[in-house]
Amino acid sequence: MRSSCYGAPRMAETLTITAMGAQGDGLADHDGRTVYVPGTLPGESVRATVGSGRAHDVEILIPAAERVPPPCPHFGDCGGCSVQHWADAPYQTWKRQLVVDALGRQGIDADVADLVRGTPATRRRATFSVLRRPEGVQLGFQRAGSHAVVDIAECHVVDPVLVKARGALKALAKAVLPVMKASAKPASMTVTVTRTGLDVAVAGDFALTEPARRAAIGIALKANLARLTARGEVLAETRKPLVSFNGIAVALPPGGFIQATADAEAAMRDQVCGHMQGAKSVADLFSGCGTFALPLARFARVHAVEGDRTSLAALDAGWRAATGQKLRRVTTERRDLFMRPVTAKELDGFDGLVFDPPRAGAEAQAHQIAASRVGRVAAVSCNPLTLARDLAILTAGGHRIVSITPIDQFLWSPHVETVALLAR
């Protein structure tokens, strides 16, 4: 029994889980209101204390037939995964339905393909939360709704190379970070598996002292990291961290973005490039380092637009270095597409267009695409809600949805990648 904020005891209640929420929590009705019940599945009966719309101290009374043993011992404590306890078939159905529901809220009735399945232990890029306490370093993922870091000893989502590097990453954190107060916000450590080794970038609210700098460089060299960056400063780079976009090598800039898994990237690329076949000129908006621009250059001229200077420089260098691959011309333009979207008049010169914005989507840019004469459009998104909003703008402007494919790039989480293909 727990006390409420008003001092009255909070009694455990029996709840029935009626559905799965969009964030991977079970949903139950309590006094006419929806309660979010973590770690539960539809059809289950549970006992829990309820406060502020969430259930705590959950005890499963009657488990669902679809409940399975989670593979990871950290599940339920670590905030990285929310649905490891669900059988694969209903999990896939739920994840596809997230896209269907988002489209429905915008009045879009379109066929959504089956979910392209994710694979455990393949995530090549992960951002770990890091705390340095007097008793040692905690490195892992944050507990849901908290700054507490669950110090993971294993992970069934990330590439095993990242788990094996845990000792070196902790040593780096100890060298770079000061001892932090209990209330401190964790620093972050983004680690990417590249063809030439690990690329590590540490970020957070800390000052980098000269002794810390020297110690970190020594650890990076001993661990044979490709590169170590702290607060934007490259401390050590023994070799360029190289990634490959459909066989075209690119040196990843510090903090550069690539898709979380190679399989998901390939599925997205196949959809996009297949839709653009026959186009002579393609605009790639929010192009990053060239995930789509460089493969598209195998058959079309590409104009890549991106706000980050270092990403564009990496894309351009990768195109210029691929001299034996017979790529078509790729031009680049640095531009803040949120503040200054490419206009409909500018877009009229292209046969096809790809856009892959951040989670906020591309509302302003979508209006310009809708007003243009571009015949083929590929929209790539990690957020079904903003994707649906942008698709509503495009369909209102005369584009027809050809296909929508959800891709499970973020396994056992509520996050889903989607590729939508449209034509006039």
**Where in the sequence numbering do the catalytic residues fall?**
382
Q: Give the C-alpha separation, 177 to 187, whole Å.
A: 8
State the Cα–Cα distance between residues 127 and 356, nearest whole angstrom.
20
50 and 13 in contact (C-beta within 8 Å)? yes
Beta-carbon neighbour count of residue 184 at 10 Å? 17
For residues 290 and 138, give the distance between their C-alpha atoms in angstroms, rounded to a whole number: 34
**Which residues make beta-bridge pairs with 131?**
138
Q: Let me know how long the chain is.
A: 424
Work out the angle at residue 383's Cα, subtended by the Cα atoms of residues 88 and 118, and round it to the nearest 5 degrees: 30
3 state DSSP class of 131: strand
Q: Residue 314 has which token pair?
A: 């990496």
Distances (CA, A) of 67 to 17, 44, 149, 314, 319: 13, 9, 27, 45, 48
Phi first, then psi, for residue 350 (nearest 5°) are -110, 145
- The tokens for 82 are 């929310």
Q: Using the 8-state DSSP alphabet, how is residue 340 labeled?
A: S
